[in-house]
Amino acid sequence: MKELIQSPVVFNEEQHTYTLGDKELSGVTSILKRLVFPDMYAAVSQAVLNKAAERGTRIHNLVQMWVMGILSNEDLAELQCFLDAISDALLITHASEYLVSDNESVASSIDLVCLDKDDNIILCDIKTTSVLHTEYLRWQLSIYAYLFERQNPGLKVHGLKAIHIRDGKCSIVDVARFTDELVESLLTAFRNGEESFVNPMNEVPDGINDLLKAYAENEESLSYISQVKNQYDERKKQLQEQIASVLQEKGLSKIETETAKVSIGKDSERPSFDLKAFKDSDIYKACPEQYDAFVKTTVTKGRITITLR
């Protein structure tokens, strides 16, 4: 991957401010807390928030020192779950605390810019909260991706991930990206000085609630039918095994009765093509274009996903 473009924005770590010349820019967190999630931590005491912030800052600093190669053995032990998770996910860190900005009103630092096994760019944000706030993460990382791609023309972000470190455990979770149009609408609201932001994705079209109610009722019926079907499928399997056992004891592979014809086929082997092994082979690496000539592309209709609450 080519070298990342460095923003002219200056970050003051002590005051946690972003400045461009004499102009102070806003961080993504401030925008989200003001316009999208104003009450996210309203029920949490300041003491708890301060303690969580201290823990989060320590983990972020440890990760940054690891990227720089200056961790002690004790620090490495504390970060071991993170190191294992990164390794298992086949992610390679390319940059840490990478500052991105529109050089106008918004700036923030991305915790980790990583590359996957195919050298695709993956942006990661580290969280140490008790649970992940997935909607917040979608906004945060989507804005990061939007700013990253505009700061680095020609580079495309292929994935967003949350790295959740808590109680000595680390998990890496995929985060779905919002469209650039949605991100632009939020940033425009911020630049215009608006006090709130109406997410167009949350607007409920007329009649949709009735349709969703009917969908839920249909799902409930299907669930019941599925349970009954599973019971009969299991009974069918048991009866087939019993019938086969009786015939095999008699040395029979085929019979006919007044009610049915029964035949037992011989075990067989069926060859299959191991695409992954082929792509890892020297044959493919020598002439990948020969494989491409036999690739057939078909259009798969986009599927709708409905999660009932």
Q: What is the 3-state secondary structure (H, E, C) of 123-137?
A: EEEEECCCCCCHHHH
Region at 222 (left for phi over 0; alpha for psi -120 to 50; beta for the rest): alpha
- Does pLDDT of 78 surpass 90? no
Task: Express each pLDDT in 259-268 by its tens digit.
Answer: 889 998 888 8
Distances (CA, A) of 178 to 43, 194, 260: 27, 21, 57
Mean pLDDT of the chain: 87
Please give the Cα distance from 164 to 95 (Å, whole number).
18
Q: What is the mean pLDDT of residues 212-218?
A: 86
Q: Binning pLDDT at 50, 70 and 90, where does residue 110 land? A: very high
Q: What pLDDT does 235 receive? A: 93
Task: Express each pLDDT in 54-68 by its tens digit.
Answer: 877 888 888 888 888
- Does pLDDT of 253 surpass 70? yes
Q: Which residue carries 């019971």 as its tokens?
A: 231
